[in-house]
Structure formats: structure tokens, C-alpha cells
Structure 1
Amino acid sequence: MNSNKTQENLMAAFAGESQANRKYLAYAAKAEKDGKKNAAKLFKAAAQAETYHALKEYELAGKVGTTEENIKDGIAGETYEFTEMYPEFIKDAEAEGNKAAVRAFTFAKEAEEVHAKLYKDALENIDETEEVFYYLCPVCGNIEKSRPDKCSICGVPGDKFIKF
């Protein structure tokens, strides 16, 4: 059993490693855009290493439950984001006149609502054995169960979606 301090440390490490992963992926994208392939590859490798660290720390903190529990947690998290978090962020960005942030937050809010619905569907069909494919919009994060002609949230052409 983890002590309170160890539990706190595991969760702090998880948060830090998770943020480092995303930060390094952003750096990799910039390095690729700048034509710095070696730096991009290093950032991608480091991002994956940070993911390994984060996953182990989250597991050791006792945060990974059954698949059903994890899906319910996904529903709760996504629902909070589209009903409470992003609406507040959008209001703040609008008040500050930051149109780019309003757009990013709006895309994320709409995608999170889709994610919550997909999790609910997955929970209702937890024992289904027929393979399902998901298609991810690389711009706004929308997920579809079939490749669309264009993204219903941001309008990106469907052929840009990534199949999972």
C-alpha cells in the first residue's frame, strides 16, 4: 500500500510525465516543420519514454480499474469537460477577445461531447466481440465510427482522419 506521500508523489509524477509527453510532441512537430529531423525524432522518442513513465506511475497509484470502471471514468471526465470546463474557458477567451482560443476550446468542447457518447456506447456494448474501428480527426479531435466525407466539427476532409 502506498503512503499518502508516495500516492501524492505518484500522481505528481504522472501529471508531470503526461505534460512532458505532450510538450515534447509539440516540440517534435515544430522541429519537423523546421526541417530538423533528428531533433524531431529525439523529441518523439522522449515523448514515448515519458508516456511509459506516466502509465506505470498511474498504475502504481491504483488508478487503473476494470474496463467498465475505466469507461465510466472516461464518461465522467469527458462530460465534465464539455458541460463545465470548456464553456467557462470559452467565456473567458471571448471576454479577452482571443478568437484562436475560442475556436480551439469550442472544437475541444464539441469533440469531448462526442467522446462521452462513444464511451457510453462502448459501455452499453462492452461484451460485443465484433471489431469496431474509430476515425480520429487530426485537427479537432473528433472521433467517428466511420470515415466521414468531412469532419462534422471542423470541416477537415475525411481522408485526413486517422483509423484506429
Structure 2
Amino acid sequence: MENQKTLQNLMEAFAGESQANRKYLAYAQKAEADGKKNAAKLFKAASDAETLHALKHFEVAGKIKTTEDNLNDAVEGENHEYQSMYPEFLEVAKAEGNKEAIRTFTFALKAEEVHANLYKEALENLDSEEEVFYYLCPVCGNIEKSIPDKCFICGVPGDKFIKY
């Protein structure tokens, strides 16, 4: 893309819209828990709208490549998260004694390593026609290729995993 400022703006807009998506989902969950159904529905609709915006910004920025390129990018991102980002975040959380942050960073660090390995495996088997199913732990974000007895990261029973 010729115009670097526009590219920068597209990526900033992508980041902002992506964060708004997750923020509004969190607000929707809270509204549901509070029994505020209309507010929950509005937050969910707004979350989906923010996702539409983010995806279009990302596309226009030229960031969606071939599936192989996208898998390589995903491996790189996950590697950064579990090898650099989360270890640094954990050190700060430990130094500050924030037990909940330590817990969530630890869960994410371990899950991101799993994600990186699954992306590598998908890359190696990109042309395989055998269908694969994935199972997501709803607590820590671990992904398995079969339902475990319990999550090896957080201990959640396997019957709580979500199938993809």
C-alpha cells in the first residue's frame, strides 16, 4: 500500500475495533448475569458490528495472505506471546503480587504454546483432506484435538470443552 499513514490508520483502527469487540462481549456477559437482557443484546450486536469493522480494515490493509502465510504469521505471533510477552508480564505480576494476573498470564502462556504447535501441525498438513476437530477449554483457552479427561493447564473437566 502506497500511503503509509493510511496503512498505519487502518491497523490502528483494526486494533481499536478488535478491542471494542471483546470489551462489548465482556459487557454483554455482565449484563446477562445482571438480568439486563436488552443491554446484553445491544452489547452483542455492537460487538459483532465492531468485528465487521475490524475485519474490513484488516482486509483493506492487505494483511490477509495465503493460508500458508497466515499460518506462518499465526505461529510467529503465538511464539512471541509464550516466549517473550507472557513471561515478561508474569514477572511484573509476581513482583507486584497480583495473584489473579499471575493465574491468567500463566494460563495464556501455556495455551499459546499449544496454539503455536497446532498452527505448525496445520501448516505441515495443509493439503490433508482428513477432517480434524478441535476442542477449546472455556477457562484457559487450551485447544486439544480430542476431548481430554481434564484440561492439563487448568484442570477443567473435558466435558466442558467446546467442539470446533
Q: C-alpha root-mean-square deviation of aligned residues, in Å?
A: 0.8
Aligned residue type for 1:150: K
Paired with 1:159 and 1:32, the residues of 2 have a C-alpha distance of: 24
Matches within 5 A, 1:132-143: 132-143=132-143
2:124 matched to which residue of 1? 124
Paired with 2:59 and 2:93, the residues of 1 have a C-alpha distance of: 35
Paired with 2:132 and 2:76, the residues of 1 have a C-alpha distance of: 22
Stretches of structure 1 that go unaligned for 5 or more consecutive residues are none
1:106 matched to which residue of 2? 106
Aligned residue type for 1:30: K
What is the CA-CA distance between 1:122 and the residue it aligns to? 0.1
What is the CA-CA distance between 1:2 and the residue it aligns to? 4.6
Stretches of structure 2 that go unaligned for 5 or more consecutive residues are none
Aligned residue type for 1:118: L
Aligned residue type for 1:47: S
Is 1:9 aligned to residue 1 of structure 2? no
Paired with 2:6 and 2:23, the residues of 1 have a C-alpha distance of: 25
Paired with 1:29 and 1:159, the residues of 2 have a C-alpha distance of: 22
1:61 matched to which residue of 2? 61
Runs of 4+ aligned structure 1 residues displaced above 4 Å come to: none
TM-score (norm 1): 0.98
**Residues 2 and 61, structure 1, Cα contact 8 Å, conserved in 2:** no
2:80 matched to which residue of 1? 80
Deviation digits for residues 95-123 of structure 1, max 9, x if unmatched? 00001000000000000000000000000
| Percent of aligned pairs with the same amino acid | 73
Is 1:151 aligned to residue 145 of structure 2? no
What is the CA-CA distance between 1:3 and the residue it aligns to? 1.1
What is the CA-CA distance between 1:71 and the residue it aligns to? 0.2
Aligned residue type for 2:132: V
Is 1:27 aligned to residue 41 of structure 2? no
What is the CA-CA distance between 1:52 and the residue it aligns to? 0.7
